[in-house]
Amino acid sequence: MLQIQDLYKSYGDRAVLQNLNLSIAPGEIYGLLGPNGAGKTTTIRILCNLLTADRGHVIVSGHPLSEATKPLIGLVPQENLQYASLTCAENLDFFARLYGRSRQQRKEQVPACLDAVGLLSRANSPAETLSGGMKRRLSLAIALVHHPKLLILDEPTTGLDIEARIDLWRLIRQLQSQGMTILLTTHLLDEAERLCDRLGVLKQGCLLAEGSLADLRQCITAQEILIVRTTAEAEAIARAEVLGFPHRRYGDDLAFWLPEPLEMKTIIDRFDGIPLDSIARQPVRLEHIYDEVLRSERDGRSRVFPAVQTSEVSETSEVLFTQK
């Protein structure tokens, strides 16, 4: 569905994208992660033909990037860009007209899109009267009104409460089940962990690591994370080194990497003589992987993992919504 080959972009003498390569299969949700300034927004702007790369190639659904590929892409930007005084239906109708949809197509597609995102009952409500979660759903409906093949979600749930986030996650999964290909950027790692088939970690325009969550666990030798609170941290770290447990700091937490899951009694026995105020065992999560990838890059140990082959979904699917 999407192939990016050797994409390079600079502003003056500052390289923002450095020969970026990535591929997204039809029907896949791909999560592009990275700190602010990593190049995510620049990548999106290039894909949407809002910015020109210095060099490289982009193929969207088999077509080289051009004005002709714009209708193939739907974008939900970080900010809600709907017109506040227009109703939900009027907003969708306006954007559908920009994409050249006929009156009959708009008549069918506007209510279908509103129904798909749960806003059909608010069709005649001005956008300014909607809650934050509803505004994000309206942005999603706008992005889908012209039947794109690739949907780009740029931090879609930032600032939403947990109920609104879960509601939007459900809609995203529903779209994927109907054949939609999705590129997702987010700073919420639990969101990426829940939704994405594959993930790429971008920093300073370079893809540092890529793969499924299972593949990216290769970045960490741990099978389990042990969080310890103790008044004798130096002694605990020294004991862990003897035991072969690497240590890390996650915020204020002192963590040890366990090469295999251990019973709590075994853990306590191995730290015998060291006062432990509390011990918590955690599975290896994306937040630990992400931290290690960026840490490795800072230490000059960066490694790019090979892309994972995914089963292909037909690119010819046009059915995004089923009207009730």
Report the pLDDT value the prediction gives residue 158, as an integer from 0 to 100: 85
Q: What is the pLDDT of residues 25-83, one digit of tens each?
A: 999 999 999 999 899 999 999 999 999 999 999 999 999 999 889 999 999 998 888 99
Average pLDDT of the residues in 10-22: 92
Residue 299 has pLDDT above 90, yes or no: no
Run of H or E including 199: strand 198-203
Residue 300 has pLDDT above 70, yes or no: no
CATH class of 2-216: alpha beta
Return the domain boundaries, the chain: 2-216, 221-283
Average pLDDT of the residues in 266-295: 93
Query: How large is the C-alpha radius of gyration of the chain?
Result: 23
Across 288-297, b (16+ Cβ under 10 Å) vs e yields bbbbbbbeeb
Q: For the sheet containing 253-258, what is the strand order? A: 247-250, 253-258, 224-229, 278-282
Residue type, 90: E
Whether 2-216 and 221-283 share one fold: the answer is no
Residue 318 has pLDDT above 80, yes or no: no
Task: Compute the distance between CA of residue 108 and CA of residue 146 in angstroms, rounded to an integer.
Answer: 11
DSSP annotation of 126 reads B
Residue 319 has pLDDT above 90, yes or no: no
Q: What CATH number does the domain located at 221-283 have? A: 3.30.70
Report the pLDDT value the prediction gives residue 79, as an integer from 0 to 100: 87
Lowest mean pLDDT among 59-68, 123-132, 181-190, 314-323: 314-323
Q: What is the pLDDT of residues 280-291, one digit of tens each?
A: 999 999 999 999
Q: 57 near 64, Cβ under 8 Å?
A: yes
What CA–CA distances, in Å, run from 141 to 82, 134, 321? 11, 10, 11
